[in-house]
Amino acid sequence: MTMKRETPIDSRPGSAKAVPERTCIACRQVKAKRELVRIVKTKDEGIVIDIKGKKPGRGAYLCNTKECWESGLKSNRLEYVMRTTLTREDLQRLKEYAAKL
């Protein structure tokens, strides 16, 4: 005899849903995934900024601050984490995004 649960486990009072966390590659702070900006290496487009965080490919995260972006781009951390070499176009696109922060 199988028993059915009337309420899902997450809807019980006092139970909290787990929030996905990621680490910024520049400042190394662990933050909620939604607080960080994902950069992804795709097969077709190269290195792109993934605002929604859903694109397939190898990803890295940076805080939404100019300091973290400058640090991540200047010290080649992004290239190391992405296991690739950034093209001039990729670097220019990322620097333009960082300038808007």
Question: What pLDDT digit, counting tens, does each position of 15-42 carry?
Answer: 678 899 999 999 999 999 999 999 999 8
CA distances from 32 to 18, 23, 95 (A): 10, 9, 24
Comparing 43 with 38, which gets the higher pLDDT? 38
Q: What CATH number matches the domain at 21-99, 3.40.50.150, 3.10.180.10, 1.10.3720.10, 3.30.1230.10?
A: 3.30.1230.10
What average pLDDT is seen over the chain?
85
Chain centroid to CA 74: how far?
18
pTM above 0.85, yes or no: no
Other CB atoms closer than 10 Å to residue 72's CB: what's the count?
24
Break the chain into its structural domains and give their ranges: 21-99
d(Cα 37, Cα 8) in Å, to the nearest integer?
32
d(Cα 68, Cα 49) in Å, to the nearest integer?
15
